[in-house]
Amino acid sequence: MNVVKIVAETPQEALEKIHADLGPDAVVLNVRQLPAEGVKKLWANTRVEVMASAPEPLPNAEETIERLNAKIVQLEEQVLHPSEPKPEPKASLKQQLPSRVTEMVQTAQKAVREGTDVDGMLPSVKILERLGLLPSHARWLSGQARNFLGFTKPRNLQEEFGLVRETLSDYRHQLIRRHTKPGNPARLFVGTPGTGKTTCLCKWMTQAVLRQGQSVCAWRLDGSSPNTAEFLSVHGEVLQVPVERTWDQEAKISEDTLRFIDLPGVSANDREARRVLVDQVNDFAQSEIYLVLNASYDLGLLLSHARFFSVLPLSGLVLTHLDEETRWSKCWNLVLATQLPILYLSGGQNIPGDFQPALPDDMFDHFVEAGREQMEDS
């Protein structure tokens, strides 16, 4: 990775230098303020240090789909036309499919060919259940996928998986239409302490300013407890983004300005703090409320937190700490249990770092691939 460090008087000047050195698609890795040293503090202005890298080539979407399809075809071929076993060293045995994965796919493939179910479910959905989808969600998904299929009969397991993925993607889009607000509402982040709300806000804010060149303003407000996220104020100063400490409903702000609201975390057993939060949220009528959840937590705890904050008119979920989690089945279990769309995914502490919109097809592919790998490793 070609990393370049730029020191400039303003973020705008640093961004111009980055684009000149690395091109317009350069990725900003970190931003920090450089105060003057020694006696220079008396007259010198604070400067900005920005670290960036040249973008890595993104995988072509069609190539990714072809690669996944090739894996499924290869798996089917191994099941339908197994080759004669050859003596191999024990070290290479891990490359073979575990017997339970082979049996699972073989059963599903046979059911698809014969047009029958597996335990009352579509064969592909039964595989998803084995990979971590909760049984109740699997039964619901099988019914929805069957309605989505209509009179269409998949020719093979690969095609059925594609239709199930399309069913989940369509359901997520329905949830987005149900919960999101038109126009450019303020974005308000809620959650328990330590989930990464402020870090997500700073990542999003940095991407908007340095990559998209958008106008941004933020509010760091107190709740039932003081908001001690000084990091947000410092980061706003570096980006030359105003970070206000009081909310003014009558403030005149351009309609295309992105507005972010940061509130203190609320413990999931503090009902009084939640009551204060509910009253406070009423002041932000034109806002979307994002519940930020730590994806490394167990599913039961995540669902408990989601229920605790469900008294708020939530617009969707933001999952953080994904760099610490490999069980992608959680994502779809959360969507189906809460009936809220996952809107953004975040991982790591670097800013802007890994913060991106949640794409349903990618989430599905990660779910299947990660589940298969876990079964092979176990």
**Same-domain status, 257 and 303:** yes
Residue 376 lies in a domain: no
Domains of the chain: total: 3
**Same-domain status, 174 and 184:** no
In what side-by-side order are the strands of the sheet with 27-34? 3-8, 47-53, 27-34
Q: Please report which residue ranges of the chain form alpha helices under DSSP H.
A: 11-22, 61-80, 99-114, 123-130, 135-149, 157-179, 197-206, 230-239, 271-281, 299-308, 329-338, 360-377
**Same-domain status, 20 and 118:** no
Residue 244 lies in a domain: yes
Domain that holds residue 17: 3-53
Please give the pLDDT value at position 53.
Answer: 73
User: Which CATH number fits the domain that encloses residue 305?
Assistant: 3.40.50.300
**Same-domain status, 141 and 191:** no
Residue 365 lies in a domain: no
**Same-domain status, 149 and 49:** no
Average the pLDDT over each of 19-28, 173-182, 297-306 and give the range with the smallest value: 19-28
Residue 221 lies in a domain: yes
Please give the pLDDT value at position 162.
Answer: 87
**Same-domain status, 43 and 127:** no
**Same-domain status, 159 and 257:** no
Residue 320 lies in a domain: yes
**Same-domain status, 225 and 237:** yes
Please give the pLDDT value at position 97.
Answer: 38
Task: Provide DSSP, 282-315.
Answer: TT-SSEEEEEEEETTS-HHHHHHHHHHGGGS-EE
Residue 93 lies in a domain: no
What is the pLDDT of the chain when averaged over all its residues?
Answer: 78
**Same-domain status, 105 and 212:** no
| Higher pLDDT pick, 231 / 56 | 231
Highest-pLDDT range among 45-49, 223-227, 229-233, 289-293: 289-293
Residue 213 lies in a domain: yes
For the segment 306-341, what is each residue's pLDDT rounded down to a tens digit? Answer: 999 999 999 999 999 988 877 788 899 999 999 999
Cα dihedral sign for 353, 354, 358, 359? positive
Read off the amino acid at residue 166. E
Please give the pLDDT value at position 299.
Answer: 93
**Same-domain status, 306 and 195:** yes
**Same-domain status, 239 and 110:** no
Residue 246 lies in a domain: yes
**Cβ atoms < 10 Å from Cβ of 159:** 16
For the segment 59-114, what is each residue's pLDDT rounded down to a tens digit? Answer: 555 665 566 566 556 655 554 555 554 444 433 323 333 444 555 555 666 655 55
pTM of the model: 0.72
